[in-house]
Chains A and B, each alone.
Chain A
Amino acid sequence: MAKLKLDDLKKIKDRVRQENALREGGAKAKVTVHMGTCGIASGARVVMEALMDEVSLTDRRDILVTTSGCIGLCSQEPIVTVELFDQEPIRYSFVDKNKMRQIFRRHVLEGEVQEEFVLARGTEHQD
């Protein structure tokens, strides 16, 4: 049975661990794409794809990309939450791939909240 060839991944691991040893650890930013049925049907996977692509274009190793379930605001999906270290979470609604790229470049990388897309500020809740 065919499987992934993991040799290249071992090289990446060695390089990343070497670099990380030189800097302070811990994630500085966490970006969550909400993936309930409502989010998925509204395009959350395309948003996640754009987010992963943006991450792969950077050299930032302190950004955590994650997904979570429905938060009960189905009519506002796709929803993305950005949490920067020491700042309150910002929740964005009706995100598409272009908005995701803008939010990533301006908010996650530069710290500038994209007010026109903001749904709410505050802590994460899901069910």
Chain B
Amino acid sequence: MEEISLHILDVAENALGAGARRIGIRLEIDEKNDRLRLELTDDGRGMTPEVLRQAADPFFTTRTTRRIGLGLPLLKQAAEQSGGSFSLESSPGRGTAVKAEFGLSHWDRPPLGDMASTLLTLIVGRPEVDFVYRQVTGAGEFELDSGEIKQVLEGVSLSDPEVVLFLEKNVREATAGLAGV
């Protein structure tokens, strides 16, 4: 997993697997305190205390297709190796919150990568779910709510060629300031 934006996609996919219908993604670039903060929240089925305790263990998974689960352990490792931290809050029926903090200028921090691609993959690929993305940088704040987009579309598919083009152009513009992070 070479980019933080790929970790974001992966954690969001975990939330989708947990039946989430609304997923919040908050990304903050805090240059003053030299921190990159990431928070993903979902309204999925949540985890029991026992599952929560083992969720960052690579040799633990709730799936039955195979017996390892690398998503969260890889994110935890990436955050901690850059002088940051990782935490997980969850309870059954109340969803999950994943928080990761990275040292912004740390040599071992993975690049943020293509955030626009991650957002487009989620919004277009999972039209049944609402994604609320909030980006906080020194240049200001930006929020994208895919629920609002779907409201405007009134049933028109997010896979429609013109809609895909619209999203591609606008999401790339909105995240252009993240280039090089």
Chain B CB within 8 A of A9 CB:
yes
The CA of A3 and the CA of B117, in the complex, are separated in Å by 18
Knowing A6-B152, A45-B117 touch, does A52 contact B168 (C-beta < 8 A)? Answer: yes
Q: Which of A12, A27, A55, A67 contacts B121 (CB 8 A)?
A: A67
What sequence of 0s and 1s flags, for each residue 9-30 of chain A, a beta carbon within 8 Å of any chain B beta carbon?
A: 1101101110010000001000
Q: Looking across the interface, which residue of chain B has its beta carbon closest to that of A72? A: B65
Q: Name the distance in Å between A12's Cβ and chain B's nearest Cβ.
A: 5
Knowing A12-B166, A61-B161 touch, does A74 contact B141 (C-beta < 8 A)? Answer: no
In contact, B174 and A4 (Cβ under 8 angstroms): yes
In contact, A55 and B166 (Cβ under 8 angstroms): no
Chain A CB within 8 A of B24 CB:
no
**Cβ–Cβ < 8 Å partners of A55 in chain B:** 159, 161, 164
Chain B CB within 8 A of A82 CB:
no
Main secondary structure of the interface of A (DSSP, over half): mixed
What sequence of 0s and 1s flags, for each residue 2-38 of chain B, a beta carbon within 8 Å of any chain A beta carbon?
A: 0000100110010011000000000000000000000
Q: Which of A13, A56, A72, A74 contacts B156 (CB 8 A)?
A: A13
Chain A CB within 8 A of B143 CB:
yes
**Cβ–Cβ < 8 Å partners of B52 in chain A:** none
- Total A residues in contact with B, Cβ cutoff 8 Å: 45
Knowing A9-B149, A35-B9 touch, does A3 contact B144 (C-beta < 8 A)? Answer: yes
**Cβ–Cβ < 8 Å partners of B124 in chain A:** 48, 52, 65
Q: Name the distance in Å between B7's Cβ and chain A's nearest Cβ.
A: 9
Q: Name the distance in Å between A19's Cβ and chain B's nearest Cβ.
A: 10
In contact, B1 and A41 (Cβ under 8 angstroms): yes
The CA of A46 and the CA of B165, in the complex, are separated in Å by 16
Given contacts A2-B174, A4-B170, A35-B9, 18 further A-B pairs with CB under 8 A are: A1-B141, A1-B143, A4-B171, A6-B148, A8-B166, A12-B156, A15-B162, A17-B155, A17-B156, A37-B71, A48-B120, A49-B121, A52-B120, A52-B164, A55-B164, A56-B168, A61-B161, A67-B13
25 interchain pairs, CB-CB under 8 A? A1-B140, A1-B143, A2-B141, A2-B142, A9-B149, A9-B152, A9-B166, A12-B156, A13-B154, A16-B162, A20-B156, A37-B69, A40-B13, A45-B6, A46-B117, A48-B121, A52-B120, A55-B159, A55-B164, A56-B164, A59-B161, A61-B160, A61-B161, A66-B125, A67-B122
> Which A residues contact B (CB, under 8 angstroms)?
1-6, 8-10, 12-13, 15-17, 20, 27, 33, 35-37, 40-41, 45-46, 48-49, 52, 55-61, 63-67, 69-72, 74, 127
